[in-house]
Amino acid sequence: MIIQNDLLLRAARGEKIERPPVWVMRQAGRVLPEYRATRKIAGSFKSLVTNPELACEVTIQPVDLLGVDAAIIFSDILVIPEALGLPYNMDEGKGPSFDRVIRTAGDVEALSSDNIGEKLEYVTKAISLTKAALSGRVPLIGFAGAPWTIFCYMTEGKGSKEFAVSRRMLIENPELAHALLSKITDATISYLKTQIAAGADLVQVFDSWAGVLNPKLYAEFAIPYLKKICENIDEVPVTVFAKGAWYAFHDLVTLPCATLGLDWHIDPRWARGIAGDRYTLQGNLDPAMLYGSFDQIKKETREMLRNFGTQRHIANLGHGVYPDTNPDNLKCFIETVQSS
C-alpha cells in the first residue's frame, strides 16, 4: 500500500523532507475526550489493550482529531512480561503491578518465550485493522519496551523512582540479570517482527527507565541488548528512545538504528554535534510547555525546530504528553510544526 504522507519514513531514512513530520508520544489516548469515551466502553485499560477493534479506534483518533503525521498503535509495553508468563495488573491511579516477580534462576527458566506472536495476537490484529482503516493516509508505528525497562518491572514488581531492587540485582547477581535480559530481548525481537508482518511501518523501542542507571551499568546491561534488537530488525526503520540517558549518548550513537529519540533535557545542537548526519533525531519539546499560551507554545516550538535543523528531524515531545494537557494546546504544537 502506498502511504500518502510518508514524511516520517523519509525522515527516518535520512531522505530529503519538506518539513519535519510530527507525532506525539502517548497521543493514542490520555488527552482526548474521545479516548476516554472509548475506554469507558472497554471497561478498563487492559480490556482496551486486548480489544483489537477498540485499540484500532483509539489509535486512529489522533490522526483524525489532531492531524499528526503518524499513528502509533495503542498498546502497552508490559504485554511482553505477560506473554512470557508474568501477568501484570493496571490499577486505576496506581499504575502497573505484578503479583509475582523474578528473583531466582528458576524464575527466569520458567518464563516461556515460545509463540510470542500467538500470545500477543490481539496486538497484531489491532495493527492489521488499523492499517486497513488508515488506508495509507499516514505510517503506523509499532513499539516495545526496551529490555532494561521491562527488566525493571519484572524484578521490582511495580513502578519506582529509583528501581533499587532492579539495580541491586545487577550488582549482586549479574549472571541472573543477563539471563533475564536475554530472554526479554529474544521475546522483544519476535514481538516486533510480528508487528512488522502485520503492517507496522516503523518501530520504536522505549527505554523509559534508562535514567536510573549509571554510565557503566547502562553500557553493560542496556546497550548490548538494544544493539541486538536493532541488528535483528532490518525490515523497517528502528527508533530508540532512552529517557534520561544523556550520559550514555556516545554509546547510543553506536547502535545500528535509524533514529534516536531525545528527551527535553538534551540540547538538540549538542546531540547533533555527536550524532552528525548518521542518525535522524526525534523530539524534544518539554511536555510542560503545552501548559503555556498559544504564543508561548509557538515560540518554543519554533526555537526547537531551529535547534534541530531542517533535515533528519522528527518533531515530538521530550516524553509522553501529560494527561491534563488541553487538546487545543497539543494541536497548536502540531500545527506550528506543520506550518514551519
Residues known to be catalytic: 26, 30, 39, 76, 153
Cell 483524525 appears where? Answer: 64
End-to-end alpha-carbon separation of the chain, Å?
28
**C-alpha angle 24/209/147, rounded to 5°?**
95
Cell 516524553 appears where? Answer: 319
**In the beta sheet, which residues pair with residue 311?**
none
Q: What whole-number distance in Å separates Cα of residue 308 and Cα of residue 100?
A: 44
Nearest of 73, 111, 85, 84 to residue 195 by alpha carbon = 73
- The overall longest dimension of the chain from CA atoms, in Å, is 57
Q: Starting at the edge strand that comes first in sequence, how are the strands of the sheet with 259-261 ordered?
A: 71-72, 140-145, 202-207, 238-242, 259-261, 280-285, 313-317
